A and B are shown apart, each in its own frame.
Chain A
Amino acid sequence: MSEYLIDRRDMDFTLFDYLGLEDLLELPRYQGYDRETFEIVMAQAQRFAAEKLAPTNEEADHQGCRLEDGKVYLPDSYGDLYKEFCEIGLFAPVHSPEHGGMGLPQALGMALAEMMLTAHPSFMFLPGLTVSAAHLIEAFGTDRDIELYLERMYTGQWTGTMCLTEPQAGSALGELTTTAKEVEGEDYYQIAGNKIFISAGDHQLTENIIHLVLARAEGDAEGIRGVSLFIVPKNRVDADGKVTGPNDVTITGIEEKMGIHASPTCAISFGDNGECQGWLVGERGRGINYMFQMMNEARLVTGLQGVAIGNSAYQAALAYAQERKQGPKVTDRSGEQTSVAIIEHPDVRRNLMTMKAYGEAIRAMLYNSAYLSDHALHNEDEAAKTKAQDMLDLLTPICKAFASDVGFKMTELAMQVLGGYGYIKEYGIEQQMRDVKIASIYEGTNGIQALDLLGRKMRQKGGALFMTWMQDTNEFLIPLAEDEFFGDMAKEVDKGKNVLGEAAFLFQSTGKKDPEYPLLHATPFLRMFGLVESARLLLEQAALARTKLQAIWEEHGVESDDQEARDELSERNDEVLYYENKIKTASFFIYQLLPEARAMLKSIQSEDRSALDIKF
């Protein structure tokens, strides 16, 4: 069985030193918390992940889910696991304390989620979807809905789902055919239709499941503007929340999937007998708008799956490379041909370093997005709040698509490091690769994210979001370009930033006469943005690491140009080693991975439209 490995040092650095989690204590929402509380929460979550979640992950994947007599059964381990997970209070760590959540900062929630997603990606669908659905009810539901559902969902007494997709309506949700019919004299509608790909769609862990269903109310417009959102419980309940009987919701199938075997993906039929009751959320025709609020949160969690699983694969590959002995070191001239750990071989080191650099970059990216959410949600200064929301809007598609693609890539590199041992099941890498792949597909495919970035976010507020990002990046890079140590790296990142600007400008001018051309390059553009943002984040972290290093050197009386003394110190001091590695990681990313952005600009500038012109 694979071991539970996380990089707690980098998580702590990113959270406490780089983002400054303690600064959030100034926001009224978080007053009364302190760092000690955060650390205790993290320690408990980590212990639960290591002791309870991780040991059941592999077996749950092996056992999978099954459908019998219209009921879905989850792996055997889930019963106890779910109960304990709810008891420890990890179900809704960042949600409203007035309704059963724990009210912790979003940024801390990201770290907690990384710990748990690393341990057991499939299991986390249950709480993940439930709190998303509940949060939507909290934002747009009636007092009755909030009273009836919220606390029960935030504490895991009932779970929730999101029912969007239909066989013919995936990315194009406007084509859905599920209907809602008003019932005279009643506050509910009659729901009828079929939904597919519903994660956590059914199970026997809780006595009820609350489905949030997109449907078209009778008489409403065709297309997306006629779509409304309904709360459809699996079982009907009375005003006290007591289950009174079934609500004509039928599970018609579960999918056989590539990964996340221990999360049931259901086909659900609503109203086969004309008896399915659903309650409208908010106003008619606004279903998609409501769903998008939830989708934006869910997209960050999806990016985080890339962070968690990708980094977990890296940790496994690192441990393996330090143990596995094959072949002599290339510089070994002794003639004895002693085998060394494969981590000594340059090609393996390159793979490991690529994973490390990507892994730390996307962790910083996702934690930062949550930190922005904290300000966007709870900062009382309007300007700061708006700016945080703007940056979050701009970066969300990048967090989702870049991190999920990179997470998958990391599992592939990890498998390469393990070779044949990675391809077999023993080390868990193949499961990680299967489990993380879905992240690039659901919650809006990565192609859709690229369109969102290029078509919507880059143009939002007349391009002001992108301009603000450029300005902030400049403010960081300009003084650093003069820095003796970081100057060259800063200039490289600045070139990357300009490359983005050039591409955006080119799209603007060519897009007018050839609207398909920018769309052809939307995915590469998102990746370019992801690379440049990664480089920026890693360089900021490296600059902070350097400051920390200088303080430690000073304390130990080590001159910053005395390499021998520095090496000696890093040999016996893990803090020094971590900071020095952080700087090397930034350097590797900037010189080895970032240049890809410039190559992409070249391909964009080529004006080659053969992919559009070819007749397949």
Chain B
Amino acid sequence: MKILTTVKRVTDPDMKVRIQPDQSGIVTEGVEYKMNSFDEYGVEEAITLKEAHGGEVVVVSIGPGAATKELRTAMAMGADRAILVETDADLDSDAVARVLAEVVGREEPDVIIMGKQAVDSDRSQTPQILGSYLNWPQATFAYKVEIEDGWAVVGREVDGGTATKRIKLPGIISADLRLNEPRYASLPGIMKAKRKPLETLTPDDLGVDIAPKVKVLNYEAPEERGAGEMVDDVDDLINRLKDEARVI
């Protein structure tokens, strides 16, 4: 089985993100980057499936040259080879999906496993858009994946509970955070990853026009959160949640 998985290089979510004074973007100096945590679940699941069913895990990233670090990390965890589609541009979800569709056309995987969203932009769009471009079935927000006889049975997290969906492969699965516990890249794994193949392409090589369809007007920091309030007792809390917050 050939499994394709994706990783995005994102700003470290533990860091304080600052907006440029002209609101054109975020301050990138001194910012740490890491692998999108939802993609870590995707990579882990891809490797687990390979261990169970055999085959190959190909990991893809679209981003700057420095994203080789995230690709190497995925290979150190156990992915077999990597493809970097190199660009310094900030792509919208549609452009990402079109780039991936081309990669999929070349690689012809049996299944695609990707994070449900990136923790920097939090859009949660790419798996779904990719599904429509490829005309493949999709099972999003997976907390459990089983593959059998060319079908994937996927436990999904949905509003108010869980649902199970069976999709015919090839198909797309997007990973939620309860799917697994991503393994550590072991030091021997990291050394081995240096010798695994990493192919670098550009959007041009794939014939994709990455000009954005979504126009970003400006960036604004969210309002500072006000101080919390101590309530007297549980009844008070329930009443306030009911009457003021109207969440129950």
- Residues of A at the B interface (CB closer than 8 Å) are 8-9, 32, 34, 36-37, 39-41, 43-44, 47-48, 84, 87-90, 93, 102, 104, 552, 572-576, 578
Contact = CB atoms under 8 A, between A and B. Distances in A.
Interface string B9-24: 0000000001011000
Given A572-B18, A574-B30, A575-B29, A43 B186 contact: no
Interface string B177-214: 00000001111111101100000000000000000000
Contact of A36 (B18, B21, B68): B68
B29 A89 contact: no
A8 B33 CA distance: 13
User: What are the 5 tightest A-B residue pairs by CB atom distance, in nearest-first order?
Assistant: A89-B187, A575-B30, A574-B30, A89-B186, A575-B29
Interface string B21-40: 10000010111101000000
Interface of B: 18, 20-21, 27, 29-32, 34, 68-69, 72-73, 76, 184-191, 193-194
A574 B69 CA distance: 22
Contact of A572 (B27, B69, B73): B27
A612 B186 CA distance: 56
A13 to B, nearest CB: 11
B187 A102 contact: yes
Contact of A40 (B21, B29, B31, B69): B69
Contacts, number: 63
Contact of B190 (A8, A37, A573, A576): A37
Contacts of B191: 37, 102
Task: Choose among A36, A48, A87, A572 the residue with the greatest number of B CB atoms under 10 Å from its CB.
Answer: A36
B30 A41 contact: no
Contacts of B185: 40, 44
B187 A44 contact: yes
Nearest to B77: A44
A36 B68 CA distance: 8
Contacts of A8: 32
Given A36-B68, A90-B187, A93-B187, 20 more contacts: A8-B32, A9-B30, A36-B69, A37-B190, A37-B191, A40-B73, A40-B193, A41-B190, A44-B76, A44-B184, A44-B190, A48-B184, A88-B184, A104-B187, A552-B29, A572-B20, A573-B18, A574-B29, A574-B30, A574-B31
A471 B18 CA distance: 45
Contacts of A37: 72, 190-191, 194
Nearest to A97: B191
10 contacts: A8-B32, A89-B187, A89-B188, A90-B187, A93-B187, A572-B18, A572-B20, A573-B30, A575-B30, A578-B30
B21 to A, nearest CB: 7
Contacts of B69: 36, 39-40
B72 A40 contact: yes
A258 B105 CA distance: 65
Contact of A573 (B27, B34, B187): B27
Given A572-B21, A574-B30, A88 B187 contact: yes
B18 to A, nearest CB: 5
Contact of B76 (A40, A84, A572, A578): A40
B76 to A, nearest CB: 6
Contacts of A39: 69
A41 B193 CA distance: 12
A593 B172 CA distance: 62
B181 to A, nearest CB: 10
A47 B184 contact: yes
A576 B76 CA distance: 33
Contact of B187 (A36, A41, A84, A575): A41
Most-contacted residue by chain B among A32, A39, A43, A93 (CB, 10 A): A43
B30 A40 contact: no
Given A572-B21, A575-B29, A578-B30, A40 B190 contact: yes
B188 A43 contact: no
A441 to B, nearest CB: 32
A83 to B, nearest CB: 12
Nearest to B32: A8
A574 B21 CA distance: 15
Nearest to A579: B30
Contacts of A102: 187-188, 191
Nearest to B15: A574
Nearest to B18: A572
Nearest to A47: B184
Contacts of A43: 34, 73
A8 B30 CA distance: 12
A493 to B, nearest CB: 28
A572 B27 CA distance: 8
Contacts of B184: 44, 47-48, 84, 88
Nearest to B69: A36
B29 to A, nearest CB: 5
Contacts of A88: 184, 186-187
A8 B76 CA distance: 22
A518 to B, nearest CB: 46
Of A8, A40, A47, most buried by chain B (CB within 10 Å of CB) is A40
A363 to B, nearest CB: 19
